[in-house]
């Protein structure tokens, strides 16, 4: 498709190009613009219908948006901002450099600018920061017929019309209803009679990760956001919740792999940027690992007189790391999806301890048999077996407790993932290993 568009541009077949763009989906157009040269992107963008262009714009990558705005004239920016939903405008502004923000706001009409500024006040990552104010509000004494009239009148520029919010004169939320319910009932009925009154709401300050969890749980298409006085201030739609969900999963994957998370995609991040995102944790973990090294040098006599001891270091380290990764991953995920809560800490730990016992015995036995066959050395098999037991117990305990401790301290539990735990478990297991070996072999 991209090739065809470039061909049409170079052949100056603009009419054909316009026709093609008209038939394409907005997401597909934005994806192609992300890959185009700046001039071509601006050229194509200008060919788009007005109502399509804002939609395309809101789906482009941040770097493309930035370049495009630099290339657009003031009146063109005005056209885009007038069509953008307020939540998309807020997204845009919070990611642009200051100089462009100024230009964007100058070319936004006053009432929308006011709303944008209000939404910008909500803390990053809060429900308020991802909500939109474009929703349909109804009154309970409207008839269903009146409700449809209102939907027809105000619906065009709303992000969703399918869930309608019933408010009283003080803008307090008293109920919700859906277009489905309205369509399937008698048009003479009152909204107040058919609306659902036990409404599940989101407070403006709730973390957006929790918002995504609520959408996953309740399967709503939109949820109302209220302030402390239960006044309706906005709504969050499921597509935004879905974006949050995939962003949060991405972020967790990156943090758990000791990467500073970034908003940009893999290919749109430069080599230097990638290096910067990865080097800090690598340095921290590398220097921490020297503690384990220092411990080893303390037992120089032990492994000088029994060099075979060194051969088991990699196996002990890897097993500890893997056991810790298993537990911490499940706990971090459980915390992220809301299945595990802080109050479950003892329940989790008790579970992990029992799992650790079973896993530890199993690993120790298999390894013991292997060592006995390979070296005919029962004491060595015993030393490794006991060390394995301890290593598994410690790593699974840390994998359970550290993420929950991080959560308690309002840190991201994902920090306490495999790389971090491995570093601690390494030191512990090496210490236990050599101490047991020294006693068992009397060295």
Q: Interaction with its own copies in 27-66: which residues (CB under 8 A)?
A: 27, 31
Contact by Cβ (8 Å): 50, 83: yes
Contact by Cβ (8 Å): 188, 138: no
User: Candidates 66-74, 103-111, 224-232, 337-345 — which segment interacts with its own copies by CB under 8 A?
Assistant: 337-345
User: Candidates 41-49, 70-78, 118-126, 362-370 — which segment interacts with its own copies by CB under 8 A?
Assistant: 362-370
User: Candidates 69-77, 156-164, 169-177, 431-439 — which segment interacts with its own copies by CB under 8 A?
Assistant: 156-164
Pair of tokens at residue 298: 């303390």
Q: Report the C-alpha gap between 374 and 368 in whole angstroms.
A: 10
- 300 sits near its own copies (criterion: CB under 8 A): yes
Judged by beta carbon, residue 88 or residue 104, the one nearer its own copies is: 88
Judged by beta carbon, residue 71 or residue 337, the one nearer its own copies is: 337
- 376 sits near its own copies (criterion: CB under 8 A): no
Which of 155, 415, 436, 438 is in the footprint of its own copies by CB under 8 A? Answer: 155
> Residue 57 Cβ, how far from its own copies at the closest point, in Å?
14
User: Candidates 9-17, 35-43, 211-219, 435-443 — which segment interacts with its own copies by CB under 8 A?
Assistant: 211-219
Which of 1, 13, 294, 342 is in the footprint of its own copies by CB under 8 A? Answer: 294
Q: Report the C-alpha gap between 89 and 426 in whole angstroms.
A: 48
- 289 sits near its own copies (criterion: CB under 8 A): yes
Please count the residues of this chain forming the interface with its own copies, following the rule CB under 8 A.
109
Judged by beta carbon, residue 173 or residue 241, the one nearer its own copies is: 241
Q: Report the C-alpha gap between 186 and 192 in whole angstroms.
A: 13
Which of 367, 406, 407, 416 is in the footprint of its own copies by CB under 8 A? Answer: 367
> Residue 277 Cβ, how far from its own copies at the closest point, in Å?
9
Q: Report the C-alpha gap between 258 and 252 in whole angstroms.
A: 10
Which of 171, 274, 393, 436 is in the footprint of its own copies by CB under 8 A? Answer: 274
> Residue 147 Cβ, how far from its own copies at the closest point, in Å?
11
Total length of the chain? 443
Which of 111, 314, 346, 373 is in the footprint of its own copies by CB under 8 A? Answer: 314
Judged by beta carbon, residue 206 or residue 317, the one nearer its own copies is: 317
Pair of tokens at residue 404: 């929950």
- 306 sits near its own copies (criterion: CB under 8 A): no
> Residue 431 Cβ, how far from its own copies at the closest point, in Å?
12
Which of 266, 343, 409, 410 is in the footprint of its own copies by CB under 8 A? Answer: 266
Judged by beta carbon, residue 72 or residue 414, the one nearer its own copies is: 414
- 354 sits near its own copies (criterion: CB under 8 A): yes
Q: Report the C-alpha gap between 260 and 248 in whole angstroms.
A: 13
- 321 sits near its own copies (criterion: CB under 8 A): yes
Which of 162, 349, 372, 441 is in the footprint of its own copies by CB under 8 A? Answer: 162
Angle at CA of residue 366, ends 362 and 368, nearest 5°: 115
- 387 sits near its own copies (criterion: CB under 8 A): no
Which of 99, 169, 267, 376 is in the footprint of its own copies by CB under 8 A? Answer: 267
Site residues for its own copies, 95-154, by CB under 8 A, read: 148, 151-152
Q: Report the C-alpha gap between 354 and 147 in whole angstroms.
A: 59
- 337 sits near its own copies (criterion: CB under 8 A): yes
Site residues for its own copies, 222-251, by CB under 8 A, read: 238-239, 241-243, 245-246, 249-250
- 310 sits near its own copies (criterion: CB under 8 A): yes
Per-residue binding letters, 80-99, with its own copies (x by CB under 8 A): --------------------
Angle at CA of residue 323, ends 294 and 387, nearest 5°: 55
- 323 sits near its own copies (criterion: CB under 8 A): yes
């Amino acid at each position: 498709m991209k090739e065809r568009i470039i061909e049409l541009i170079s052949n100056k077949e603009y009419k054909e190009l316009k026709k093609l763009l008209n038939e394409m989906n907005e997401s597909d157009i934005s994806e192609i613009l992300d890959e185009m040269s700046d001039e071509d992107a601006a050229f194509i963008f200008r060919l788009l219908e007005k109502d399509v262009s804002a939609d395309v714009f809101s789906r482009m990558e941040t770097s493309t948006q930035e370049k495009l705005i630099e290339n657009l004239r003031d009146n063109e920016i005005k056209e885009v901002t007038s069509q953008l939903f307020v939540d998309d405008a807020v997204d845009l502004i919070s990611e642009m450099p200051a100089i462009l923000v100024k230009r964007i706001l100058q070319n936004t009409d006053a009432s929308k600018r006011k709303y944008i500024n209000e939404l910008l006040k909500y803390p990053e990552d809060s429900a308020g920061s991802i909500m939109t104010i474009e929703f349909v509000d109804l009154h309970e004494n409207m008839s269903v017929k009146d409700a449809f009239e209102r939907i027809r009148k105000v619906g065009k520029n709303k992000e969703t019309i399918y869930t309608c919010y019933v408010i009283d004169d003080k803008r307090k939320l008293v109920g919700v209803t859906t277009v489905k319910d309205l369509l399937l009932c008698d048009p003479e009925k009152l909204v107040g009679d058919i609306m659902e009154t036990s409404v599940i709401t989101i407070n403006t300050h709730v973390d957006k990760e929790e918002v995504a969890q609520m959408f996953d749980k309740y399967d709503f298409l939109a949820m109302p956001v209220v302030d402390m006085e239960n006044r309706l201030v906005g709504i969050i739609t499921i597509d935004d919740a879905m974006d949050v969900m995939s962003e949060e999963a991405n972020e967790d994957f990156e943090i758990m792999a000791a990467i500073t998370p970034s908003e940009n995609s893999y290919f749109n991040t430069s080599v230097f940027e990638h290096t910067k995102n990865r080097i800090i944790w690598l340095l921290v973990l590398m220097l921490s690992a020297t503690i384990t090294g220092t411990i080893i040098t303390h037992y120089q006599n032990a492994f000088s007189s029994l060099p075979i001891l060194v051969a088991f270091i990699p196996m002990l380290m890897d097993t500890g790391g893997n056991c810790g990764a298993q537990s911490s991953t499940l706990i971090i995920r459980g915390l992220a999806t809301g299945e595990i809560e802080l109050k479950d800490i003892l329940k989790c730990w008790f579970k992990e301890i029992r799992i650790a016992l079973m896993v530890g015995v199993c690993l120790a036995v298999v390894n013991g048999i292997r060592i006995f066959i390979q070296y005919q050395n029962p004491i060595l098999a015993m030393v490794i077996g006991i060390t394995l037991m301890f290593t598994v117990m410690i790593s699974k305990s840390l994998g359970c407790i550290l993420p929950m401790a991080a959560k308690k301290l309002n840190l991201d539990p994902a920090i306490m993932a495999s790389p971090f735990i491995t570093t601690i478990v390494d030191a512990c297991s090496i210490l236990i290993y050599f101490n047991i070996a020294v006693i068992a072999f009397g060295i």
